[in-house]
Amino acid sequence: MKKLAVVAFGGNALLRAGQTGTADEQEQNSYETCKNLIELIKDDYNIVITHGNGPQVGSIYLRSEAGYTLYKIPKMPLDISVADSQGEIGYMIERQMRNLLIENHIEKKIITVLTQVLVDKNDSAFSVPTKPVGPYYLKEEADLLAKTNNWLFKEDPRKRGWRRVVASPRPMDIINYELIAQLANEGHIVVAAGGGGIPVYLDEKNTFRPVEDAVIDKDLASALLAYQIQADAFFILTDVAKVCLNFNKPNQVQLDELKLEDAKRYYDAGEFPAGSMGPKIMAAIKFVECSGKETIITEATQLHDLNSGTKIVL
């Protein structure tokens, strides 16, 4: 049987530093990132692709606000914006991946699955919004938007500006994960859990309801999906080749392998910041702990070498 891998695209898979986010830019970035998956396919992996959506969902939400201001078009809530971004980004990844399959003479189908993710309506995360969405603003712009829309803003840790923050509840269940697994194990490439999925909860009548003003961390959702579909490996793509201790300091150390207990210890000690490697390490911990299989954190161009990156193992 072929092996099954979940590959979580990092933010630079679609939007690079200094870019404005045009369709041409994002499509070219999608092509360059997807190109690195060809080696995994040639290594007999079936693939599920997940991705982030922070800048895109923020732009979609701002378009909704502008449409209401200028033309009184009804505003759409954040969950609808997340769904929009899944379709938008999934379409770009699908088309570029399909082109690459043709170029490499590989016979495979690819499909995007609009993905809802179950969360707990009483999750403590709702009382402490932390997840940034949308573009960076000057302090004065952020203050005006906060007052106008009742939004919460926080300054970026790297001083790049102010961004809106929303709640990020823990993912509990990937809706339709069984179908995602079936499609992937049949050899189809599946794009799923985009942006961490659309957060939903079950009300007292056991009815699925949308969660407003919240997004789910895509790495944690990807880890849960990888576990639920019994993936053999979980790849988290980022903009560095390896996880480092003392990142960007004179005593920086690159890690080839990280034992689960050490990953937990470093994480608890604050070695991996929340706005950087932290969510990826936590996602790796969750997958390795639940599945007993390895997570590889690496840069997309290193996927041709399965011994590259940092392996988090039991």
Residue 247 has pLDDT above 80, yes or no: yes
Q: Which amino acid is at 173?
A: D
Closest CA to 90 of 169, 5, 180, 20: 180
Q: What is the dihedral of CA 227, 230, 231, 235, to 10 degrees?
A: 10
Rg, C-alpha atoms of the chain: 19
Res 273: pLDDT:
86
Question: Furthest-apart CA pair in the chain: how many Å?
Answer: 57
Mean pLDDT taken over the chain? 94
Per-domain boundaries in the chain: 3-130+167-313
Q: How far apart are CA 19 and CA 22, in angstroms?
A: 8
Q: Please, which pLDDT band fits residue 20 given cuts at 50, 70 and 90?
A: confident
pTM of the model: 0.94
Q: Which amino acid is at 15?
A: L
The DSSP symbol for 206 reads S
What's the token pair of residue 21? 């986010």
Res 134: pLDDT:
78
How far is CA 286 from each of CA 138, 219, 279, 281, 303, rounded to the nearest angstrom?
36, 10, 10, 9, 22
Residue 81 has pLDDT above 80, yes or no: yes
For 26, residues 6+ apart whose C-beta sits below 8 A from its C-beta are 14, 15, 89, 92
Question: Which residues carry out catalysis?
Answer: 11-12, 131, 218, 280
Q: Please, which pLDDT band fits residue 58 given cuts at 50, 70 and 90?
A: confident
How would you label 49-71 residue by residue, b for 16+ Cβ within 10 Å and e otherwise? bbbbbbbbbbbbbeebeeeeeee
Closest CA to 226 of 285, 298, 310, 308: 285
How far is CA 297 from each of CA 6, 12, 305, 308, rounded to the nearest angstrom?
12, 14, 12, 9
| CATH code given to domain 3-130+167-313 | 3.40.1160.10
Query: What pLDDT, in 10s, does the model give residues 141-168?
Result: 999 989 988 999 999 877 889 999 999 9
Give the position of tokens 């969510």.
Answer: 279
The DSSP symbol for 56 reads H
